Copies of this chain bind each other. A is one copy, B any other.
């Protein structure tokens, strides 16, 4: 197990455990996923928040591998990582890194993916890329395993034939984990989404800045503003992604475009407003759905209860619904506040509230589920 930099925040993340989630692995856990017949894998960006979570999820899921390479920028090269009771030295990512690598998990930003993704493919590696670099490339499958596994069924690891597979944006994954089972039943025509996004989406440094700023503000000091250029503690703000000429920011347009690609329907109407809130590592989303066919809220709840990777937390009497804290470090996306939308006629609308761990299902877990389908 690596010494996770994100585990510094574990005391901010204590929540009760919803049903069906796996316990997180601790540093004392002894696992051995090394297997002669497993693939050789590489983790690109291993020192980042998602890179560290890749290791955590690989271990939790007992992912089989015959070897693992820890890759990062020159700046991090030479750092030591202990993973599953073995010591590794972080290697610098170069064009030669992918010889004999069957599967590479990338999470080092779009420019690294653009530069080294094709290099890895040329070496016969299947790249599962967490950046936005290739998501809208028509030749690259954009996959949530529970939603559209068929998009990558032609790709296998270890065949010597390289390929790219893109991991969707975290907000898109979390939204569609809940919306897809309902879409299959009643066909979504339009979605209005407002997000409540955690610091983790901007990386481990953003989480650290939120913690630091909060301490400073409580002490009456001016907050350190390096990552977001504004006070984040006890505040919220429109997502830091660039704003495009149509007034949407890039995060919102990812939700619009990726939903259409994943659902393979260019007519799906989506609008989104993406907001950062002072929460550490799990996103929440308020989702208003308009359907082609009537869909009763009780039917919707039953569908969601039976959906893989989804847990329903919808206790009206005790006012217990999904919260970011409860899904932090958990695999499942939690859904609640499931109710018939009063503003739509004929039972053709629903409001739901969704929470999911941004680093886990929103990034690392989804990527490793994709990798599992390659075996």
Contact = CB atoms under 8 A, between A and B. Distances in A.
Contacts of A246: 339-340, 342
Nearest to A341: B271
A43 to B, nearest CB: 28
A230 interface: yes
Contacts of A358: none
Interface string A206-238: 000011001101101010000000110111111
A235 B270 contact: no
Given A15-B231, A279-B234, A316 B243 contact: yes
Q: Size range of the interface on A?
A: 35 or more
B338 A11 contact: no
A323 B230 CA distance: 10
A192 B286 CA distance: 10
Contact of A351 (B230, B233, B271, B339): B271
Given A192-B288, A196-B277, A271-B351, A337 B247 contact: yes
A146 interface: no
A88 interface: no
Contacts of A353: 238, 273, 275
Given A234-B280, A236-B324, A270 B12 contact: no
Main secondary structure of the interface of A (DSSP, over half): mixed
A325 interface: yes
Interface in A1-57: 11-15
Contacts of A288: 192, 271, 273, 288
A247 B339 CA distance: 5
Contact of A238 (B242, B280, B297, B321): B321
Contacts of A196: 196, 236, 275, 277
Interface in A298-357: 316-317, 319, 321, 323-325, 336-344, 349, 351, 353
A271 B220 CA distance: 39
Given A190-B343, A323-B237, A338 B247 contact: yes
A325 B234 contact: yes
A295 interface: no
A168 interface: no
Given A11-B217, A319-B243, A192 B339 contact: no
